[in-house]
Amino acid sequence: MSTLLDRLILEYPDSSRSTLRKWLKGGRILVNGKKVHEPHACVDAEAKITLREKQKFLELDIEVLYEDRDIVVVGKPEGVLSVATAFQSEETVHGVLKRHYPRAFPVHRLDRETSGVMVMALTEEASKGLKEQFHAHSIERKYVAIVRGQLEGTGTWECRLLEDQNYFVRPHPKGALAITHYRTLNTRGRTTAVEFTLQTGKKNQIRAQALAAGFPIMGDQKYGDTASGRLHLHATDLAFNHPITGKKMSFTLPPPFEL
């Protein structure tokens, strides 16, 4: 067992200690896929150390993970709308991107309270191609969350969801089919870290199904939890075929909270 700084010195011998510390402070060092900032954190010999590319941030702390002439993939922070609504005129991810690119076309969205990976098209052709993949449910989307209670093993939540006049989504026989697969990561006391894979992508899908199953997400005051603080739901993985080239694209963004 050695410290993270010691491992970095061995793996990046041409970099100074001050540079290594800057990488740690800036969140560029991942240990087994998770950000670690503490130089004296203990790591074992098998731990995978990854140096992330230097990050590009736009307004609202929106992180650009990838960009080309057709698409841009970003990390959305929690508390920011993806796209403007008829009732809200505040700044959005879409609004920020429209200032930095000639055109930007939303093809999906994350809830205001949810952070994580999302893609936006920069051309009409790319928009059409991505929307076709979302409609066919061929895009791979994974989330992690911390839920209340002890959820065990793996399983699938399948029901029909309907949004009522108060914008609350709940199971209803006349609703749209929603399918979510889950896998338990770990349990700590009265909470469980869970990985969710979307088979469909309905509004508030994971949040509504988690509440219906008796495992509300920590911090989700709209859907059954009373705790203050952020919603512990984060879109970690997004994979799709590039809408123009057909190349398989895959993006991962670790959660900003501890699992």
Catalytic option among 6, 61, 68, 111: 111
**CB-CB contact of 155 with 213 (8 Å):** no
* Nearest in space to 238 (alpha carbons), one of 249, 225, 223, 227: 249
* Nearest in space to 225 (alpha carbons), one of 247, 207, 198: 207
DSSP 152-191: -SEEEEEEEEEE-TTS-EEE-TTSEEEEEEEEEEEEETTE
Q: What is the distance between the alpha carbons of residues 68 and 117, in angstroms, rounded to a whole number?
A: 16
Work out the angle between the directed axes of helices 4-11 and 17-25 (0-180°, nearest 10).
120
Q: List the helix and strand counts (H, then E) for the chain.
A: 5, 17
The verdict on whether 111 is a catalytic residue reads yes
* 205 contacts: CB under 8 Å, gap ≥ 6: 161, 169, 178, 180, 198
Q: What is the distance between the alpha carbons of residues 234 and 211, in angstroms, rounded to a whole number?
A: 17
Identity at 248, one-letter amino acid code = K
Annotated catalytic sites, by residue? 111
